[in-house]
Structure 1
Amino acid sequence: MGRIKLRYAEQLSDKVLRADADMNKADWLTGLATAVGVLGIGLGFWWADAVAALVVSISISKDGWDNTANAIRDLMDTRPTTFDNSEVDPVIAKVNAAVMDDPRVVGVQTRARDEGHVLHLEVFVQVDRLVVEVAWLEELERRCNEVDWRAGDVVVTVTTEPHPVADARLE
């Protein structure tokens, strides 16, 4: 069951489903380790149950640590990551590429926040003109929303200079 949930967690970019899949995996491994420990005692290895208990406790502690660290990272409003926290969420780069496809855009920086299943995106678009049409801004916003279903809340801000916040804080 955990493997099935893990596959859907990746497709949906669902961190809660990922944690649930990890717990299913931990339950399965705990049952297996316990059975091996009991079998070991039955075969005369008095220490097998203690080793099985140690393996189970280390596994539970590791899962608890990983899931707690991931939850704290998500609550601290850090850079959005993929469902398994292994890399920066690719939606950000896709949005930047979609905006840069417009010939009027000189540069783009995007600040993103993970809001569960969707991302809140602040897209800072650098242009070389002082006047832009509202319809064009609405088109950019629509284009950003169409990049991925997770680009749920998009705010487009136009500037004539790069955004003053350091690039390290923007993606």
Structure 2
Amino acid sequence: MAEQKNKFKPTAQQELPPALQKVFDQATTLEWITVIYIASVIVVMMLTMQSSQAMKATWLEDVLSIIPGISFLVARRFYNRPPNEQFPFGYHRCYSIAFQLGAFALLFLGLFLFYDSFSTLLKEEHPTIGSITIWGHRIWMGWIMIAALLYSCIPSIFLGQKKLPLSDKLHNKILFTDAHTQQADWQTAMAAIVGILGVGLGFWWADSAAACFISISIIIDGFQRLKGAVEDLIDQVPTNLENSKKHPLVEKTYRYFDKQSWVKEVRIRMREAGEIFFTEVFVVPKSMDKLFENMEAAHDEVRKLDWKMHDVVIIPVREFSEELDESK
């Protein structure tokens, strides 16, 4: 009897399949590299930005871009802790919380940058980009700023390309956000470079205009990510990494039960907790004959559909309520 109970005990402590554990380790290594690299970018940008609004906007974006990497590394220390009396579902939502915090910070920064840059534009403040002497040669600081901007974006593009396929395999949204943001860093850097060159050519407004463009891009990214993070935390149906469509496992699970000979009708409620899915399956059985054996077999088979099918609960009912009729 004890063995039967263990079959249906929630398994809130998840172990990744061995192949995915290697992917997870690769992602962790890349995030450590990213955090160290971005820390160096922040220092370089701070030393070279002078009075440029575009450089200031890019520097602040770099400061925030370190948050997803740090959040990933912190969350990985907690997400797989075993459940306890206070947290019976475990700590899987650590990634969702980290995702939300990073998105909120991004949105707030974008709004602040837009206000700061637009105010500078209205006040017609003329930025000055001076020169420095290196080994007896006079060099315009604009070229050094452009070199710093290229350093801030080119390695990021390659790091983002490395992380994207890993985020898909792990279904890790904060890793995906980090990868996507790093891939798009070249747009911010190019906008800042255009602003700096514009100042060098005598267009004083080019710098603040570039900063406004950068801030609008940050606001859009921050809003989209915050929207997705909030939807995940209020238990929307699991989605793909872009939060653009329902995850195929929802339909796959429904089809499995719908084809079972012992099931008359089925409704499914599935929610996302970080990388994994918690699933409630409500079934109207055709008969009570071998019901528990059928439920046990179905439970084990559904868990095998995908590693993300973490905690599956099957609930037999006589008929569906109005609330359940709204589910698939």
Is the shorter-chain TM-score for this pair beyond 0.5, marking a shared fold?
yes
Q: Is the 8 A contact 1:129 1:160 kept in 2?
A: no
Q: Is the 8 A contact 2:262 2:294 kept in 1?
A: no
Say whether residues 1:107 and 2:265 are aligned partners.
yes
**Higher RCO (C-alpha 8 Å, min separation 6):** 2
Which has the larger displacement, 60-69 or 154-163? 154-163
Say whether residues 1:88 and 2:256 are aligned partners.
no
- What SS is found at the alignment partner of 2:270? strand
Q: Which amino acid aligns with 1:47?
A: W
Q: Return the alpha-carbon distance in structure 2 between the equivalents of residues 166 and 158 of structure 1.
A: 13
The answer to which structure has the higher strand fraction is 1
- What SS is found at the alignment partner of 1:152? strand
Q: Is the 8 A contact 1:99 1:143 kept in 2?
A: no
Report percent identity of matched pairs: 35
Q: Return the alpha-carbon distance in structure 1 between the equivalents of residues 324 and 265 of structure 2.
A: 14
CA change 1:164–1:130 in 2 (3 A) is: farther
Say whether residues 1:142 and 2:300 are aligned partners.
yes
* Shift, 1:26, TM fit: 4.5
Say whether residues 1:9 and 2:170 are aligned partners.
no
* Shift, 1:163, TM fit: 4.7
- What SS is found at the alignment partner of 1:147? coil
Q: Return the alpha-carbon distance in structure 2 between the equivalents of residues 12 and 94 of structure 1.
A: 19
Larger Rg: 2
For 1:121-158, what per-residue CA distance to the aligned partner results, in whole angstroms no more than 9, with x for missing partners?
00112212133342221110011111111111101112
Q: Return the alpha-carbon distance in structure 1 between the equivalents of residues 238 and 321 of structure 2.
A: 20
| Moved beyond 4 Å, runs of 4+ | none
**Match runs of 1:16-165 below 5 Å:** 16-165=174-323
RMSD across aligned positions (CA):
1.8
User: Which runs of 5 or more structure 2 residues have no equivalent in the other structure?
Assistant: 1-158
- What SS is found at the alignment partner of 1:66? helix
Aligned pairs, number? 170
- What SS is found at the alignment partner of 2:323? coil
Q: Is the 8 A contact 1:110 1:122 kept in 2?
A: yes
Q: Which amino acid aligns with 2:190?
A: L
TM-score where L is the length of structure 1 = 0.88
The answer to which structure has the higher helix fraction is 2
